[in-house]
Amino acid sequence: MSKKVLIANRGEISLRAIRACKELGIKTVSIYSEGDKELKSLRFSDESVCVGPADPTKSYLDAPTILSAADVTGSDAIYPGYGFLAEDYSFAEQCNLSGFKFIGPNSETIRQMGDKITAKSIVTKYGIDGVPGFNNKLPDDDDEVLKIANEIGYPLIVKATAGGGGRGMKIVRSSNELINSVQIAKQEALNGFGNDVVYFEKFIENPRHIEVQVVGDGKGNAIHLGTRDCSIQRRHQKLIEEAPASDVDKKKLDEVLENCVTLCKDLNYEGVGTLEFLYENECFYFLEMNTRIQVEHPVTEMVTGIDLVKQQILAASGERLTISQNDIKIKGHSIECRINAEHPESFIPSPGKISQYHQPGGLGVRVDSAVYQGYSVPPHYDSMIGKLITYADNRSECIARMKRALEEYVIMGINTNIQMHQKIIMTEEFKSGKYDINFMST
């Protein structure tokens, strides 16, 4: 078992990892940037190291400095969290080559599954259908590109193979827009991800976003922990997630779950992962795999009782999976609202000092957040400042509990999206559970 883990992240996920390590008797090292000296996680870890200025490219994304921090603190493993270097296969490789265990799958698995075109071709071999489209690098010749698009039909979506976070996508509704959209998507992909390879998918008009949580021990044992519905999104970014996904064709789902597990067994998948799908007309279409912990992992933890971060650490420590598929019982319902520091109408980030803070509590309420009264939300990072998670025996009680918890949540001094969540969960559409990814645009 690892003795000291360096957490190469910030905010709520750092605190989440520290909590898991403490329960496993593992010492922790936090890293922080000069813009993050007030982080709550720094007060909970055993040690902390400043890795550079507030600019994330010079701190949380600076692999050599992070590896030096692991070295000087005598850490033996590195926990990446989500975002930053979590899906950077070369960082995973550098960690392992430098003698620090990267807590996650091996670098080759991250490389293959992190590239959406490659991932789609791999999962196809396991009977998992990708969204129909052209799943190859597009040719340079415009006429060829137009021909391919005509074969797929409009509307279609241009996507970056290295894309993430809802960025690098362009919906194209007619051939007139095509070439220009491809150029823009390529440029955005190059700027955002350092890789300008784009591909085409059929644009599915009214799907739900449903994903499957998997866990493997790197030794050929793997299980799934059921589904999440993450269809409440804004600009392709998730806002509310639930587990389990309601109202899904059981036969189709069982097939997909079984195929996902077989894939992970074959890959000797180590740690946690998520296979994301669009679901429309009782069909699942694979989008991508995330080879890391997801923001929305708590809802799965609530309905399974399994600590996913501990599972990651145990797998990285070489432990065999002790949970079998039959042990997994999905019980009750859980919902997560992402609490963002942003203006309620313009959605513009709202950094600044939190003058008053009171977080909700009571039965079935969990808050994963690293903020507190007097904390200043820095302007340099993602605007998500916490996650409010509720759990209850069934979906309607879970919504009632979320309503009550949102009412209790007081965050003053900055703008937040708490009121927006209150409105969403009280709509008839949300309450009925019959919504899709277009919820926010209707």
Interacting residues with ligand ADP (CB under 6 A):
131, 157, 163-167, 201, 203-204, 209, 233, 236, 276, 278, 287-288, 437
Q: How is residue 242 written in tokens?
A: 């639930």
**Cβ 329 to ligand ADP shortest distance, Å:** 28
Strand ranges in 126-217 using DSSP code E only, listed in sequence order:
133-134, 156-160, 169-172, 198-202, 208-217
Distance CA 390, CA 361 (A): 10
Cβ closest to ligand ADP, residue 209 vs residue 333: 209
**Cβ 33 to ligand ADP shortest distance, Å:** 25
Cβ closest to ligand ADP, residue 209 vs residue 297: 209
Q: Are strands 356-358 and 410-412 parallel, antiparallel or unpaired?
A: antiparallel
Consecutive H or E run containing 430: helix 428-432
Q: Are strands 156-160 and 77-79 parallel, antiparallel or unpaired?
A: unpaired
Distance CA 47, CA 55 (A): 22
DSSP string of 103-129? SSS-HHHHHHHHSHHHHHHHHHTTTPP
Q: How is residue 387 written in tokens?
A: 């996650």
- Residues paired with 352 in a beta bridge: 377
Distance CA 309, CA 302 (A): 13
Distance CA 207, CA 40 (A): 38
- Give first-to-last CA distance, the chain, whole Å: 50
**Cβ 98 to ligand ADP shortest distance, Å:** 28
**Cβ 295 to ligand ADP shortest distance, Å:** 11
**Cβ 163 to ligand ADP shortest distance, Å:** 5
Is-catalytic flag, 167? no
Q: Which of 151, 154, 17 is nearest to 79 (CA)?
A: 17
**Cβ 191 to ligand ADP shortest distance, Å:** 15
**Cβ 134 to ligand ADP shortest distance, Å:** 12
Classify 328 as helix, strand or coil.
coil
Cβ closest to ligand ADP, residue 19 vs residue 236: 236
Cβ closest to ligand ADP, residue 82 vs residue 203: 203
Token pair 């692991």 is found at 70
Cβ closest to ligand ADP, residue 25 vs residue 194: 194
* DSSP annotation of 342: B
Cβ closest to ligand ADP, residue 201 vs residue 368: 201
Catalytic residue among 292, 338, 366, 401: 292
Distance CA 282, CA 35 (A): 47
Cβ closest to ligand ADP, residue 351 vs residue 433: 433
Distance CA 404, CA 398 (A): 10
Distance CA 140, CA 158 (A): 15
- Return the active site residues: 292
